[in-house]
């Protein structure tokens, strides 16, 4: 895994307060959960398809992926990622995967 490849983190997705917003929950390396919100343009289904306008149904959650930028590899299979809400998180390598592409108009903080 390199910092140049488009990556995503396994998460749970739910609708946010705005029509284009999704809330994502990522399991962190320390067992805690990071909860953030972002545009649905950062979100994918587990089949690597962009999340649709009505996914998931309001009041329900779905397993998905959120785009993330790899900042660095740490010790013990840990990875440091920047996520769309501007936070930096440490996850186990198993929480990350590659995606084919991300929206060209979506930027990440580095």
What per-residue confidence (pLDDT) applies to 3? Answer: 59
Is residue 65 in a domain? yes
Rg of the Cα trace of the chain?
13
38: domain range?
7-98
User: Distances from the Cα of 100 to the Cαs of 4, 5, 6, 53, 67, in angstroms?
Assistant: 12, 9, 7, 20, 11
* Residue pair 71/96 in contact by the 8 Å Cβ criterion: no
Confidence of residue 1 (pLDDT cuts 50, 70, 90): low
What is the rounded distance in angstroms from the CA atom of residue 50 to the CA atom of residue 40? Answer: 8
* Residue pair 73/1 in contact by the 8 Å Cβ criterion: yes
Is residue 107 in a domain? no
Is residue 79 in a domain? yes
> Residue 96: what are its φ and ψ, rounded to 5°?
-115, 150
Is residue 103 in a domain? no
What per-residue confidence (pLDDT) applies to 105? Answer: 47
The single-letter DSSP state of residue 81 is E
What value does the mean pLDDT of the chain take?
89
Confidence of residue 7 (pLDDT cuts 50, 70, 90): very high
More confident residue, 92 or 105: 92
Is residue 87 in a domain? yes
What per-residue confidence (pLDDT) applies to 104? Answer: 44
Is residue 106 in a domain? no
What per-residue confidence (pLDDT) applies to 76? Answer: 86
* Domains held by the chain: number: 1
Q: Give mean pLDDT, residues 67-78.
A: 92
pLDDT in tens, 27-42: 999 999 999 999 999 9
């Amino acid at each position: 895994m390199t910092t140049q490849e488009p990556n995503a983190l396994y998460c749970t997705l739910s609708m946010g307060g705005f029509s284009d917003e999704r809330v994502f929950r990522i399991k962190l390396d320390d067992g805690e959960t990071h909860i953030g919100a972002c545009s649905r343009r950062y979100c994918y289904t587990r089949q690597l398809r962009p999340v649709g306008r009505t996914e998931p149904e309001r009041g329900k959650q779905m397993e998905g992926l959120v785009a993330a930028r790899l900042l660095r590899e740490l010790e013990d299979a840990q990875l440091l990622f920047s996520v769309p809400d501007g936070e930096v998180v440490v996850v186990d390598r198993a929480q990350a995967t590659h995606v084919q592409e991300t929206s060209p108009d979506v930027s990440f903080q580095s």
